[in-house]
Structure 1
Amino acid sequence: MGMHILCCLWSVFALVKMSSGAEWCYQSQVSCVNPCQGPLEWPEVAMTCGGRAQSPINIVTKKTLKDDRLQPLRYNGYQFAFHSDIINNGHSVQVNLPDSAKIDGGNLESTYKAIQLHFHWGLNGGPGSEHTIDGEQYPMEMHIVHIKQQYHSLSEALKDKSGVAVLGFFYQESGSSNKKYESVVNALKRITRPGTNTTLHDLSLDMLIPSHSNLSTYFRYQGSLTTPNCDESVVWTVFENTIPLSNEQLSAFSQLSFADGQNMTGTYRPVQPLNGREVYHSGSVAVWVNTVVLLSSVLATVGLSFPE
């Protein structure tokens, strides 16, 4: 009973605080003692968060449309090593990127330059990605954020409906560590508190993503930033092939802290309605899967099977 009364008192305090403009937060942070505004209340933080072209989304593969213009992207400067800060910004882990890394092709209307990357994750390797595929939520998702090369800042690019291009990559738990991620994972121990940072040395974007030959299958749609102000100015490219990390590596992200001292977990926005938007896919992945299923059924009927 005492805890219930205390919680109610904090709820009243929360309403007062919200009316004066509380900090936005993820659902994992919302509690009686932390009266922040979770995802359902983000439209009160920024009206745009209640728009009709919001991200992330659940990608239903059988409803995606093939677009032959979605050829493999070109990655310029992704191979070059750089030094940069990795930052606990209170909501995620962010790495600032050199604008010498650029992407084009893949039916993007311009060349886009990289500005930063960040991650979204769950609890100790549990569900944590923002986008989902046929309802499946992956343990973690990385967003590499780019802006059109003629712009000088993210805020300037957000005024353009296609001013920002974000590449989304899913992670999958593996039985062994991914050595390419050792420097990133080890750095997390030095930035556990919000506002702290350390330097990463000799890192390249190619180290963090699948090989370019495995980047030909992806999904494309028009959406938004996934944190307030949720500006609807993002061309999304979400890749099918996943990046392997061990459970220990995935769990290392859960050791970071939010501003209130809680472990930084559940750093994802729930999926948003499509509201009539189309989602496109490159290649013929969905068709190939259906063909394999059909062929397997035919072979099973005649008593045959695919060779192991």
Structure 2
Amino acid sequence: MVRSILSLFSLLLAGNAQVPTHPVEITIFNFHGPHGQIYQELLNPELAYFGSPTSAQVLSNLIPQFVQTLPALPAVSTNEVRGPISLPVEQDAQPDHIIVHAEDELDTPHWSYSGPTGPDYWPKIYPECGGKSQSPINIQPYMTYQRPTNPIMAENYNRLYPAFIVKGKKNVDISFEGPKQMPWIAGGYIPYGESYQFAGLHMHWGSKNNVGSEHRVEGFEFPGEAHFVHFNRKYGNLTNAVDKPDGLLVLGFFLQLAEKSGPGISVIADGIRSLNESGNNEVDIGKLSIDAILGHIPLVEYFFYQGSLTTPPCSENVLWHVFSTPIQISQRDLDAFRNLKNEDGKSYSDNNRPVLPLNGREVLRNVLRRY
């Protein structure tokens, strides 16, 4: 089957005088795009950058049609490891119940997502918001680079922790409690010897189904995006790490509408409804794991780049991992987020920053290879 694929694309390429006809390695990448469609793309830097728009257009148009005729191929991947891994690291003592207000800065100048104090205003009071390495960005898959890397190692992602939802000024934060070691990751494009510990989760969502995510893919905007915030464990805690050049890492997952939410998202949505009905600022949602929130999405297919926080102070010290497989959320559960009001009685919806220029930054792409 691989030979037939190579032969077919060699034949296609031969039709263009600017393109060499030698066989090339092909990687098929599954991207879950709008309306539940699964896009399967041919990924090879040689093909994407032959300097021939005609070839790129031909390949882009033909691949989704061609791969539908292929039989299912076994997926083989060593790009993720989950299990008992021990990396000794010194950590400062932390309270059992840590609430991470990723979106709120106490006693800081006012900012918002629209109007006179919206994103265009942020650089006036937070200069780094006008920097050259800002987030979010519009990800263009064919303008990314594949670079071999080690597997992502995820520790304690399947462990259950007491979980809480807390209302902030501009968002709600989901955090874990407990004396147990918190979830952490290493490997992948993370610098060798470094590891990052989970600090908290927050969401961004829109008031309509066609807006809400912060990152975009080929200009497409999902109805929401989940950010799993991590800090570099060598700094002991989030407070110490937040202003360090290598202090932060975020795993970003798009939210995609589905008939049914994943198990963890259902629990969170029930907690959001409880907050809305009770008028309280905090709710205990029982025990939860990161895996349950993700719907057990493997940490394999993702885009990586160096960027910033997407809210003031917009610190440019974030290792971004934006995953191609979205988290599933039902319309009912998404509406629960939209119905939630802040302390001023206003909806949290449309709490997403517009995309910013790449400014020459490199976006790497890790994929699941099929053989």
**TM-score category (smaller protein):** 0.7 to 0.9
Equivalent residue number for residue 164 of structure 1: 248
Contact 2:263 2:292 (8 Å CA) reproduced: no
* Alpha-carbon offset, residue 236 of structure 1: 0.3
What is the distance in 2 between the residues matched to 1:124 and 1:251? 9
Partner of 2:303: 219
User: Which amino acid letter does the alignment assign opposite residue 76 of structure 1?
Assistant: E
| Structure 1 residue 159 displacement after superposition | 3.0
Mapped partners of 1:83, 1:281: distance in 2: 34
Report the Cα distance in structure 1 between the residues aligned to 2:286 and 2:338, rounded to whole angstroms: 23
1:53 lines up with 2:53 in the alignment:
no
**Closer/same/farther in 2, CA of residues 149 and 235 from structure 1, 3 Å limit:** same
Which gives a bigger RCO, structure 1 or 2 (Cα 8 Å, sep 6+)?
1
Which of 276, 287, 292 is matched with 2:360 structurally?
A: 276
Local SS of the residue matching 1:107: coil
* Equivalent residue, structure 2, for 1:44: 124
Task: Decide whether the 8 Å contact of 1:222 with 1:236 is kept in 2.
Answer: yes
Question: Which residue pairs with 1:301 in the alignment?
Answer: none
Show structure 2 runs of 5+ residues with no match.
Answer: 1-107
2:307/2:316 contact within 8 Å kept: yes
73, 90, 102: which one pairs with 2:184? 102
* SS of 1:242 mapped into structure 2: strand
Residue 160 of structure 2, aligned match among 81, 93, 99: 81
Match of 1:128 in 2: 212
Q: Distance in 2 between matches of 1:210 and 1:177?
A: 9
| Aligned position for 1:265 | 349
Deviates more, 1:113-122 or 1:192-201: 192-201
Within a 5 Å distance, the mapping from 1:1-308 to structure 2 comes to 23-27=110-114, 30=115, 37-69=117-149, 71-98=150-177, 100-109=182-191, 110-192=194-276, 196-212=281-297, 214-283=298-367
Offset of 1:158 from its aligned partner?
2.8
Give the alignment's TM-score, normalised by structure 2: 0.65
Which range moves more in the overlay, 202-211 or 264-273? 202-211
- Is the Cα contact below 8 Å between 2:170 and 2:351 reproduced in 1? yes
Alpha-carbon contact 1:89-1:194 (below 8 Å) kept: no
Task: Please give the per-residue CA displacement for 1:226-246, whole angstroms capped at 9, x wherever unaligned.
Answer: 010000000000000111111
State the SS of the aligned residue for 1:260: coil
CA 1:180–1:159: 2 relative to 1, 3 Å: closer
Deviation at 1:124, TM superposition (A): 4.7
What CA distance in whole angstroms lies between the structure 2 residues aligned with 1:251 and 1:125?
10
186-195 or 36-45: which moved more? 186-195
Contact 2:197 2:231 in 1 (8 A): yes
Measured at CA, do residues 284 and 235 of structure 1 come closer, stay the same or move farther in structure 2, by a change above 3 Å? Answer: same
> Quick one: which amino acid aligns to residue 106 of structure 1?
G
Give 1:195 shift. Answer: 7.7
Query: What CA distance in whole angstroms lies between the structure 1 residues aligned with 2:124 and 2:229?
Result: 25
Is there any run of 5+ residues in structure 1 with no aligned partner, and where? Answer: 1-20, 31-35, 289-308
Counterpart CA distance in 1 for 2:184 and 2:199 is: 10
**Cα distance change, pair 284–215 in 1 and its aligned pair in 2 (3 A):** closer
Find the residue that maps to 2:120 and give its secondary structure. Answer: helix
Structure 2: distance between partners of 1:104 and 1:242: 21
Structure 1 range deviating more: 260-269 or 230-239? 260-269
Q: CA deviation at 1:74?
A: 1.3
SS of the equivalent of 2:231 reads strand
Q: What one-letter code is carried by the residue in structure 2 that aligns with 1:205? A: I
Deviation at 1:200, TM superposition (A): 1.7
Please name the residue that 2:10 is paired with: none
Describe the superposition over 1:25-74 as per-residue Cα deviations: whole angstroms up to 9, x where unpaired.
112xx3xxxxx6111101123111111100000001110011111x4411
Q: Partner amino acid for 2:141? A: T
User: Residue by residue, what CA displacement relative to the aligned partner does 1:207-243 show, whole Å, maximum 9, x if unpaired?
Assistant: 011425x331100000000010000000000000111
Say if 2:263 and 2:293, in contact at 8 Å, map to a contact too.
Answer: no
C-alpha distance in 2 between matches for 1:62 and 1:210: 27
Moved more, 178-187 or 161-170: 178-187
Q: How far apart are residue 23 of structure 1 and its match? A: 1.3
Q: CA deviation at 1:92?
A: 1.1
Match of 2:174, as an amino acid?
Answer: V
Say if 1:180 and 1:146 are closer, same or farther in 2 by CA, change over 3 A: closer
Deviant stretches of 4+, over 4 Å: none
TM-score, normalised via structure 1 length:
0.78
Looking at structure 2, the residues matched to 257 and 206 of structure 1 have their Cα atoms a distance apart, in angstroms, of 28
